[in-house]
Structure 1
Amino acid sequence: MAADVYVHLIEPAAWRAALELGAVRPPSLDAVGFVHLSTPEQVHLPAEALFPGRRDLVLLVVDPARLTDPVRLEPGRPEDPAGMLFPHLYGPLPTRAVVAVVPYRPPVQPVLPSPGDPLARALALYTSLPVRRAVGVGDVPGGVVVLDPDVPASHDNNRLLLTSPVDAATVTATAEEVGGNAGWPYRAALLGWPGAAPVAAELGRAGWEVEQLVLMARSPADPQPAATQRVEVVAQTEVHDLWERSWRRNLATTGARLDAVVGQLVGRERLNDLVVAVTDLVVREEGRVVAAAQLRVDGATAAVESVMTDPGSRGRGHADALLARALELAGTAGCDLVVLEASADDWPREWYARRGFAEIGRTWSVSREA
């Protein structure tokens, strides 16, 4: 039984712990000597037996070619269909063999990316992370809605995540219903399926703000030379002042509302480290943090986020150093793919292209005031 991918069902907190250890070591490894794997067609059987009714689990998408310990096809539980064999991994499951982490929400069939499909892996990361960190998740036409009432100003934490085609009227009606019930001060959605451009354009004509996002990717190998010794790994609180200065420059609001919104946008960042391995990197000048970047590792896939430099400190190579260090850390963690999002209409897209990132696809972020 050859398989393009295997899957392993796990609770999000257990996966986060495995990222620290570099491997998934479930109790079965000590009890019976192996890690239970499944093919995508089989996984509903252990899910129903071990986690009946649960919709808050994730599937680890495993590339069999990255496993070094033996995999044996053996019977599962006595009540499983006669003659069915399951792949059992006789050793821990390395996190570097996990090419994607996908929410498991039966009866919705999960979309599992192939190891060699960078766009599918990037989309899996960008649509999975908001679900795993959300306070609430609900099914909607075309995908899910994520909600976090603690940070209502954050579109990333409170919006529709649509990965299957729907029309503009459905996006509008769903956002209005969900946003109205949740008390959102805006309506927001990510259109993440191939060919969503016409729907985004129609929403734009109807008054929505539309941002086209370019998904870019590269291997972490051979980053451009840069003076990475200037880069420090720090606790996230060390970056808060820089983030706050950036948001205050870029937000079109003032006074107490600005203070509240900035507080939420800075504070929300800690939620990512609850579900993926986050490393915050900074460069200082005279002891003050003037540039920063973030690396998020989710198995064999990593994302570079929030690369920024204070305006007065630009042109000194800080961003190059931060990016090079992030790529080094991604390689050390066992990642073979590093992804990022860049606005289609802004200069960083070209900056990343000169540093080895290639476009792999596009998504559309749409929003409007309530």
Structure 2
Amino acid sequence: MTVLVHLGTPAAWRAALDDGALRPEGPFVHLSWPEQVHLPAQRLFPGRRDLVLLVVDPARLPGPVVEEPGVPGDPDGMRFPHLYGPLPVSAVVAVVPYRPPVTPVLPSPGDTPGRALTLSLSVRVRRAAQVLDVPGGVAVLDPRFPHSRDHNRLLLDGPVDAATVERAAVDVGLPHPVATLSGPGADDVARGLARRGWEAEELLGMTRAAAPGLPGAERAEVVDQRAVHPLWETSWRRDLAGLPDLDAVVAQLVGREQYTDRVVAVHDVAVHEEGRVVAAGQLRVDGATAAVESVMTEPAARGRGHGDAVLARCLELAAAAGCDLVVLEAFAADWPRHWYARRGFTVAGSTWEVTAPTGPPQTGGGVTQDSSR
């Protein structure tokens, strides 16, 4: 299916998520066909590589798109699609970093695996303090959080080999080499790195539709993120017991979370017992696609349906935001994938997480598990 795109800044998109729509600065919202977008990029944002492409499903727009001439200097006869009125965020099926001269991959509305992968990679790029080009993709870096592997890693969606991954990790100075592999032959590259001593784990991208009115959703509520901090801290201290500088590590893993809300709309959901948060999860809304992250329950409170309540509330929030797709990631070899499968999530695709054999334990994966890492 043909899509339209709108080129803008991450800040403008984040404001639109709060407003529910991207509003025109003049009489219309300027859209482009994918093959045209380089023209407004060169004219309005020369040299910029920190922009985003909003991938728009024309069928979800509230009104017709009018094709009109651009500006003097555009190729003869070229016409651009204009939307006279607000662009609903629910019409945006993906948000793709725009980093010319790299050709962006634009998933179609029905490309469930593509939309799931795009959200996972795009959030990390938009949130990063620094983005560097490497063979086969990019490196995202954040010196404020060197203990967070989610904020310091390679994101490789192009063709690479094991040696190239190792060199790139060293060249960019990752605090601890870790990479997401999603390009051609990712499984072969992961196996090659495993033979070199790296840990390689397959991550399943699982998806389902958002849904309102699920049983148990009323037991979970949206809370200020600070209310969840004690649960996170307890979990990380348990999982990372014995790690040198544990206090500093935990402080970083908590402190990093505020930055995700600067690029997507974050909703923290919790269940209380006796006034204390005992279960929590997070929903990240990015237009018509939402991601469930960090579902966890205090060990002493498990077996009471709290995880179901958190998940149901997240799916309800996604439906209310106009999302048609909810995604998450789960390790292929771990039990949570089966828990989510019983709740309607199906496997749409997979990536590989590879981690070098030396350095400190992994801390902070951003992967949906029973306890946050």
Distance 1:170 1:350 in 2: 34
Distance 1:26 1:90 in 2: 8
Aligned to 2:158: 164
Pairwise CA distance, 1:221 = 2.7
Q: Tell me whether 1:201 sits opposite 2:195 in the alignment.
A: no
Aligned to 1:234: 223
Look up the SS of the partner of 2:17 in the other structure. Answer: helix
Aligned to 1:311: 299
Once the two structures are overlaid, the 10-residue window that deviates more, 34-43 or 225-234, is: 225-234
Pairwise CA distance, 1:345 = 1.2
Q: Is the 8 A contact 1:137 1:147 kept in 2?
A: yes
1:357 to 345, 357, 364: 345
Distance 2:326 2:15 in 1: 21
Q: What amino acid maps onto 1:333 in structure 2? A: A
Look up the SS of the partner of 1:207 in the other structure. Answer: coil
Q: Is the 8 A contact 1:283 1:289 kept in 2?
A: yes
Q: Tell me whether 1:146 sits opposite 2:140 in the alignment.
A: yes
Unaligned 5+ residue runs, structure 1?
none
Pairwise CA distance, 1:262 = 1.0
Q: What amino acid maps onto 1:94 in structure 2? A: P
Aligned to 2:178: 188
Aligned to 2:366: none
Q: Tell me whether 1:67 sits opposite 2:61 in the alignment.
A: yes
Distance 1:253 1:366 in 2: 23
Pairwise CA distance, 1:194 = 4.7
When normalised by structure 2's length, the TM-score is: 0.94
Distance 2:202 2:238 in 1: 22
Look up the SS of the partner of 1:155 in the other structure. Answer: coil
Pairwise CA distance, 1:230 = 1.8
Aligned to 1:119: 113
Distance 2:327 2:352 in 1: 16
Q: Is the 8 A contact 1:70 1:91 kept in 2?
A: no
Aligned to 1:254: 243
Q: Is the 8 A contact 1:122 1:339 kept in 2?
A: yes
CA distances 1:126-158 after superposition (whole Å, capped 9, x unpaired): 111011011100111000010100000111101
Distance 2:35 2:94 in 1: 17
When normalised by structure 1's length, the TM-score is: 0.95
CA distances 1:250-304 after superposition (whole Å, capped 9, x unpaired): 125335x111111111111111000000000000111111000100000000000
CA distances 1:143-198 after superposition (whole Å, capped 9, x unpaired): 0010100000111101110011201110011111112xxxx431111102253111
Q: What amino acid maps onto 2:221 in structure 1? A: E
Distance 2:63 2:85 in 1: 6
Identity %: 67
* Mapping for residues 1-370 of structure 1, pairs under 5 Å: 4-28=2-26, 33-179=27-173, 184-221=174-211, 225-251=214-240, 253-254=242-243, 257-368=245-356, 369-370=358-359
Look up the SS of the partner of 2:191 in the other structure. Answer: helix
Distance 1:26 1:12 in 2: 16
Query: Size of the alignment, in residue pairs?
Result: 358
Look up the SS of the partner of 1:102 in the other structure. Answer: strand
CA distances 1:304-329 after superposition (whole Å, capped 9, x unpaired): 00100000000000010111110011
Pairwise CA distance, 1:222 = 6.1
Q: What amino acid maps onto 1:148 in structure 2? A: D
Distance 1:26 1:167 in 2: 45
Unaligned 5+ residue runs, structure 2?
360-373
Distance 1:238 1:137 in 2: 31
CA distances 1:185-238 after superposition (whole Å, capped 9, x unpaired): 311111022531111011111111122111100001367x43222211111111
Alpha carbon RMSD of aligned pairs, Å? 1.2
Q: What amino acid maps onto 2:145 in structure 1? A: V
